């Protein structure tokens, strides 16, 4: 079961003191599929990383009963390991490792008793996404294959929340459409929440709701934003 999200008075400030992101209030129901769009440099990725507790921020980001920003860095990491899967634009894979070891990386942060299950889930996710688990280094994979390994990794811990940063940006159209379909199916089937930053109108069209960020401010939200 996914988690509801409640944001209140969220502010991310740069080293110079400039406000990089301001969100007064936002509520998302569990299991929502949400797109985030806006001009380049508007603060979209900053919003995503703040939701994952990866940036210093003020205010409140509450996932269910957990107020993420009030936790220590160690406890935030532990929370992400269980509850949040991250899909990065630049994949962030270990080039020398194969698809299985990359997809199963969350097992390193899982309790010992659940590590085997996490590795098995990683292998199952790879197969679902059309990749055969193996040891061939991902350095030899295509962009589409690498991104699917990244998705399998994000899903391996059975996290109820997925945060995706431009997941189709590096892919050609056919690969992008395949990934969009896989993401939607894998989130809806398991009631996960998906928040995806994207310029891809085809991806945004599959979301339940689209948010607009400009000049670091959440200015508009709703289906008309797509």
Q: What is the pLDDT of residues 47-88, one digit of tens each?
A: 999 999 999 999 999 999 999 999 999 999 989 988 999 998
| CA separation for the pair 44, 213 (Å, rounded) | 6
pLDDT at 171: 84
Residue 111: how many CA atoms within 13 Å on its side-chain side?
A: 4
Domain ranges of the chain: 30-42+73-225
CATH topology of domain 30-42+73-225: Rossmann fold (3.40.50)
Beta bridge partners of 98: 137
Residue 103 tokens, joined? 């997809």
Alpha helix segments (H runs only) across 15-95: 44-51, 73-83
Maximal C-alpha separation, the chain = 48
Is this structure's pTM higher than 0.85?
A: yes
């Amino acid at each position: 079961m996914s988690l509801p999200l409640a944001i209140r008075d969220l502010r991310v400030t740069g080293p110079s003191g400039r406000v990089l992101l301001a969100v007064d209030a936002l509520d998302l129901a569990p299991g929502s599929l949400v797109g985030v769009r806006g001009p380049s440099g508007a603060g979209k990725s900053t919003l995503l990383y703040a939701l994952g507790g990866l940036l210093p921020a003020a205010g409140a980001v509450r996932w269910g009963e957990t107020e993420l920003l009030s936790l220590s860095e160690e406890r935030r990491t532990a929370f992400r390991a269980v509850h949040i899967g991250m899909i990065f634009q630049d994949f962030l894979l270990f080039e020398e490792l194969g698809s299985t070891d990359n997809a199963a990386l969350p097992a390193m942060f899982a309790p010992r008793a659940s590590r085997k299950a996490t590795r098995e889930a990683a292998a199952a996710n790879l197969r679902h996404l059309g990749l055969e688990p193996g040891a061939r280094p991902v350095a030899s994979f295509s962009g589409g294959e690498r991104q699917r390994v990244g998705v399998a990794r994000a899903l391996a811990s059975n996290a109820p929340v997925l945060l995706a940063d431009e997941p189709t940006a590096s892919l050609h159209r056919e690969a992008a459409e395949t990934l969009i379909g896989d993401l939607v199916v894998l989130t809806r089937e398991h009631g996960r929440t998906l928040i995806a930053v994207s310029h891809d109108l085809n991806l945004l069209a599959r979301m339940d709701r689209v948010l607009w960020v400009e000049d670091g401010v959440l200015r508009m939200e709703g289906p008309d934003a797509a």
